Structure 1
Amino acid sequence: MGISHLQPVLLLLMLRALASLPTQAAARGGHDPSDDGAHGPFSRKLLEDKPQITEEMVRGYMSNTELETAVHAFGSRCSNISRVYSIGKSVNHFPLWVIEISDKPRQRESEPAFKFIGNVHGDEPVGREVLMHLANWLCDNYLKDSLATLIVENMHLHILPTMNPDGFALRWRGNANNIDLNRDFPDQFFPVNNDIDYRQPETRAIMNWVKQEHFTASASLHGGALVANYPWDGTRDTSKHYYGCPDDKTFQHMASVYSRSHYNMSLSKEFEGGITNGAFWYPIYGGMQDWNYIHGGCFELTLEISDTKWPKADELPIIWEHNRMSMLNLLASLIKSGVHGRIFAADTGRPVPGSVMIKGIDSKVSASSTFGDYHRIVAPGETYEVVASMRGFRQKSTRIRLEQEAVSLDFILDPDGADGQTKLLPRSNDRGCRCDNDNAAKPFHVHEAHLWLYLLIVSVLLALYVVFKRKTVPRLLAYRHSSSLRRPVAV
């Protein structure tokens, strides 16, 4: 084989070698080789169960149009403490309306933000009605009730009464495409939902919403049981067993705040204390609460607030009263407990969007880019070492004892480097939580390892090329000499 033929062969070998190198997994937890995204055990498929919802069951519930009217009527009646906005549209183009409640609803503040989401499943509509009751109660009792005033003046509450208006109208669980929206989010263990082309518009709306807002915590309302459910929702081996996330104690505390304040949730005979780890109850994949915690730094609970999925309308006021103090106390706990503060640069005095973690807990919460404020929920009654960090700065830590009251803790970070110059790197998303994400935590080492592998392969191929060339050149010169006797050399 001549040199002119050898070069493309070597190039092909190099390209094949580079193509065979491992790529970084797109989803936290890596790729499950048994699941090809289309035929695996958790592949998305049309739901087959379509429960029959009778006209008698629907009577007394607000239709989508009536709910839309009620949301805008609330915005007009309570305009001093609210704003109404949309985060997107459903498959059938119905707006996903949100009510924000705060004493400064159109301003960014260094306060915690909470979101309530109802009607994730179309055949579980109780959350739609209960959330409108909550909004109206806060409006009616602001400056009259201490708890209502505390919530309105010290946090930003966002209420999405229905995530799935199409499923409600069709009277089935999934959306208009018959997809279960609580199985449609990117999953930490399996890549089934990694293809964004198949992601539902309602799911995309929630994901974009979380990226835009700096949510501290959230809860979605469901029907069919009485229990407060917390992460993780799935397990790495798909088996049913208790699988706690890094903030397991904190989530148990949050769930207990809700359950103990409920009329009878904590008395459950099925769930001890009225709370449960999701994977211990039954594993699901592509769920919203795990995604919020991993990618939004948002501590989310899944609240089952009615034994019946679609109770009769005349039961709704009772269900609201049974859940009212639970919802209010859960909101108030964000203000009255945990660690709150801001992160500043020592050289400029300006806030910086650093991150805060608790030593021994493998998760982070990010400070906002506007005020550098952070809000870290932790279980009370323990001592914690709180660590603040920011790229380009030296990290700082301090130990605190958290009792039943909130702790206010600001950090002033010194610039890294001997010259004292502050070097801030741009952040594409200051709100995302990099919890337990190996790829995000060590990008330099991953790329460095790949670079050395590239160089090693190239070196081996070049060595083979040199050896092969030494053996072929003498024969090639002899061939050229003999052929020159038979024909003139082209110059």
Structure 2
Amino acid sequence: MLSLRLLYMPLEVVVLISPGYTDKPRQKEAEPAFKFIGNVHGDEPVGREVLMHLANWLCDNYLKDPLATLIVENMHLHILPTMNPDGFALRWRGNANDIDLNRDFPDQFFSANNDINSRQPETRAIMNWVKQEHFTASASLHGGALVANYPWDGTRDTGKHYYGCPDDKTFRHMASVYSQSHYNMSLSKEFEGGITNGAFWYPIYGGMQDWNYIHGGCFELTLEISDTKWPKAAELPVIWEHNRMSMLNLLASLIKSGVHGRIFAADTGRPIPGLVMIKGIDSKVRASRAFGDYHRIIVPGKKYEVMASMEGFRSKSTHIVLEQEAVSLDFILDPDGVDGQMKLLRSDYDCRCDNDKMFHVREAHLWLYLLVVCGILALYLVFKRKAASRLLAFRYSPRRPVAV
């Protein structure tokens, strides 16, 4: 069963979202999660229209089309057609406060955006969403060009030049999947292969895709899907058809490729939220806390050393050869001594006791000790009283002759 939920958020954010296009609505599963976001800029409405077409197509073709069925049954797909409804209504780039939302996220190079309380409500809503859902990958849809853009979006020296992130090869692969499946994106004369590094095109700071990758472990692309920002209504079905296979193939690649698995504790058999790393790539993907599942996107056709680790456990690594199909790889980690087991217990119960709460706990223990001591003292007094009575009775009773 597929379901859609209309969620109205306070202030400026209106979100039309599925709780995951999935065969098990509202249920958490050990599956990769992907999100599409449209209309980040109010004057770029094509994305919102294309995403509504995608939602309808999935609902209409589930159990009829193999690709639709594959996506619905093997991943959680979240669709946010409009991130900036106020800007759309006003027909300008920013939100109602005239703030460019794709410059409003905390940035790795400049600390000006790091004050969360100063962020726009739309920005905070996306940040909370990413922290809540544990996304594997995502894409935001824009207009005004025809290209698949990937991190980094900015540079340390603010210059305009290629500045790749640790997963540069993986991002190039993801962008190429989209571009090569598009009607004409890969034929671009401006962008080789229809893809571009963001900083090489033009640097921006406070962008959403870089923040997703750094803080959410979410591999996000910025997709420019229409040269015209405000096309005629009659052109929208054509734009949808030009992007349909690109969107579907990007989603399917998340299922058909990469390394997927779960991490367990050897002593308890329970899933644990460990970290997964690829040797030679300076980035980490964390497994989910609920299922211990991880989904690591990497370029197919290569050999990799995959390592899993977690505080309190001994790390493990293994070598794989990733062909065109996905590799399933589970890790069972051995506890690293007694301290490691205690750390795991603290992590599982997630106890964050402040000093005041700790005082109340200790106070409760003190009263328990006093109660036990009082009970022992009472028993002692009763016993002593009975013993004294027996002594008096013996002292005043007739003496018997002693046999010699």
In the alignment, is residue 341 of structure 1 matched against residue 253 of structure 2?
A: no
In structure 1, the partner of 2:361 is: none
Change (3 A) 1:359 1:428: farther
Distance 1:87 1:209 in 2: 14
Change (3 A) 1:398 1:174: same
In structure 2, the partner of 1:95 is: 14
Change (3 A) 1:90 1:129: farther
Identity across the alignment (%): 84
In structure 2, the partner of 1:426 is: 347
Q: Which one of the candidate residues 116, 120, 128 is aligned to 1:200? A: 120
Q: Which one of the candidate residues 316, 319, 332 is aligned to 1:396? A: 316
In structure 2, the partner of 1:454 is: none
Structure 2 alignment gaps of length 5 or more: 351-404
In the alignment, is residue 228 of structure 1 matched against residue 179 of structure 2?
A: no
In the alignment, is residue 170 of structure 1 matched against residue 86 of structure 2?
A: no
Matches within 5 A, 1:142-221: 142-221=62-141
Matches within 5 A, 1:260-409: 260-409=180-329
Distance 1:171 1:90 in 2: 18
Matches within 5 A, 1:63-74: none
**Alignment coverage as a number of residue pairs:** 348
Contact 2:311 2:340 in 1 (8 A): no
In the alignment, is residue 124 of structure 1 matched against residue 44 of structure 2?
A: yes
Distance 2:342 2:183 in 1: 54
Deviation for aligned residue 1:277: 0.2
Matches within 5 A, 1:410-421: 410-417=330-337, 421=341
Contact 1:90 1:164 in 2 (8 A): no
Deviation for aligned residue 1:419: 7.9
In structure 2, the partner of 1:82 is: 3
Give the residue type in structure 2 aligned to 1:398. Answer: T
Deviation for aligned residue 1:231: 0.2
Give the residue type in structure 1 aligned to 2:330. Answer: D
Deviation for aligned residue 1:96: 2.0
Structure 1 alignment gaps of length 5 or more: 1-79, 430-491
Deviations 1:317-374 (A, max 9, x none): 0000000000000000000000000000000001001110101100001100000000
The SS at the match of 1:260 is: helix
Deviations 1:221-250 (A, max 9, x none): 000000000000000000000000000000
Change (3 A) 1:428 1:250: farther
Contact 2:256 2:325 in 1 (8 A): yes
The SS at the match of 1:392 is: coil
In the alignment, is residue 254 of structure 1 matched against residue 168 of structure 2?
A: no
Deviates more, 1:292-301 or 1:94-103: 94-103
Deviations 1:249-286 (A, max 9, x none): 00000000000000000000000000000000000000
Contact 1:233 1:278 in 2 (8 A): yes
In structure 2, the partner of 1:464 is: none
Deviations 1:172-193 (A, max 9, x none): 0000000000000000000121
Give the residue type in structure 2 aligned to 1:113. Answer: A
Deviation for aligned residue 1:84: 1.1
Change (3 A) 1:277 1:420: closer
Give the residue type in structure 1 aligned to 2:17. Answer: V
Give the residue type in structure 1 aligned to 2:105. Answer: F
- TM-score normalised by L of structure 2: 0.84
Distance 2:307 2:16 in 1: 38
Contact 2:145 2:224 in 1 (8 A): yes
Contact 1:83 1:106 in 2 (8 A): no
Distance 1:180 1:418 in 2: 51
Deviations 1:185-209 (A, max 9, x none): 0000001211223210000000000
Deviation for aligned residue 1:81: 1.2
The SS at the match of 1:397 is: strand
Give the residue type in structure 1 aligned to 2:163. Answer: Y
Deviation for aligned residue 1:105: 1.9
Contact 2:22 2:73 in 1 (8 A): yes
User: Which one has the largest radius of gyration?
Assistant: 2
Matches within 5 A, 1:25-44: none
Contact 1:89 1:202 in 2 (8 A): no
